[in-house]
Structures are given as structure tokens and as C-alpha cells.
Chains A and B, each alone.
Chain A
């Protein structure tokens, strides 16, 4: 498809396990964003990639969270030693150099 693709759509894990969430942005989009949305809350910025520049990691809540973007395309958000408060929908968005954000459907993470 031509949109932003995220996987898995749903992930249930046990507390203390590591999880990886994947984002396939729209081809040619230079910027990629990760946001987190807890139930009933707004979007919390996590990390932002722009081209080959160093990512803006200012929104990552702890050192258990990390993200990488390989080849300027696919991105993986990794959460180590998951906690129950990590339960949320993780949204990825990509953006051309000038223009709007295009969001994926999100990955719903549940930590038991």
C-alpha cells in the first residue's frame, strides 16, 4: 500500500520482556516520527528522524526506549524490560520535506 505501515498492530507481552515495533514510512518521505498515546490521552512525542541528521530523542521517556532508522527508511522502536506503564498505542508518522504528516494505524502494546 501507499500509506504508513506499522507492525504488529497488537502486541501483548509480559512485564520485563523486550518488544520491537516496526514502521514502514511512505517511500521518499524524509522525516519519521514516533508518538505514544495512552488511553484517553493526547499524543506524546518520542523521537524524530530527519534525513541523515542525528535524531531528536528528546521525547524518549527513559533509557529503556530506543529507536533506529535504517537506510533512511524503515524504523524500529525498541522497548527493553517493559513495564505496565508502557502500555499504549505507539504511532508512527512520516512526512515529506514540506507537507503534512501521514500517520500509520498504530501498534497497540499491552504489558501484563
Chain B
């Protein structure tokens, strides 16, 4: 299974942009890149996903490297509510086949 590597933790100041990196050097051509986040004492929630092109939604942006071996989740203006563990995972064919393996993620702290 293709795996991802993320920093254990990151810190940000409130209202500043945050760039959360993820390395996936063994990604295959049919793997989608997904991001989930887990707020304290809650189950994870979907943030964003993409295949090759950069993606934007109301929560965040996803920048995917041209060789697809890395990606970056961008929170444009961090708020205190964005403090969470962020998981970068890969899925085959957009997740319609196969299991979804989560790593340890990046714990994001946001300072006021």
C-alpha cells in the first residue's frame, strides 16, 4: 500500500495561513489524495481530496506537486477551531476500492 509521511506537529498563529505538507513518494497513478481532520474528542471529518489538479473548497485548498509525490493542505486563515490532527491518506480509484489507511497525522496547534 502506498504510504504517506507527515510532520508530527505544527504550530500556527491565528488568522495566518497554514501549509501542511504530506509526502507520498510511492503514489500510483490511480491513487487519490485525501485529507481528513480530527478535532479533539471527535471522529475524523473530510476536508478535501484531489487527483492531479489543485483543488479548492470552502474549508481549504489542496496543492498537488506536478510529480504527485507530495501535496500540501492550505488553510488560508487559521482559526482556533482549526486546531486538530490532520491526516493525509491515499485511496485507490477515489476510494471506491480498497481500504483507507490513516497514519499518525499532523497535530496542528493554533495560537491566538
- Stretch in B13-21, B38-46, B70-78 touching the partner: B38-46
* Residues of chain A within 8 A of B99, CB atoms compared: 33, 45, 48, 56, 58-59
B100→A42 contact, CB < 8 A: no
* Residues of chain A within 8 A of B101, CB atoms compared: 45
A31-54 vs B, CB cutoff 8 Å, 1 = contact: the mask equals 101010000011111001010000
* Residues of chain B within 8 A of A103, CB atoms compared: 43-45
Interface size (B, Cβ < 8 Å)? 22
B34→A91 contact, CB < 8 A: no
CA distance A41 to B96 in the complex (A): 26
B105→A106 contact, CB < 8 A: no
Give A contacts to B, CB under 8 Å: 4, 31, 33, 35, 41-45, 48, 50, 56, 58-59, 91, 93, 95, 97-106
Known: A50-B97, A56-B99, A93-B43. 19 other contacts (CB 8 A): A33-B99, A33-B100, A41-B104, A42-B102, A42-B105, A43-B44, A45-B99, A45-B100, A45-B101, A45-B102, A58-B99, A59-B99, A100-B46, A100-B49, A100-B95, A101-B46, A104-B43, A105-B42, A106-B43
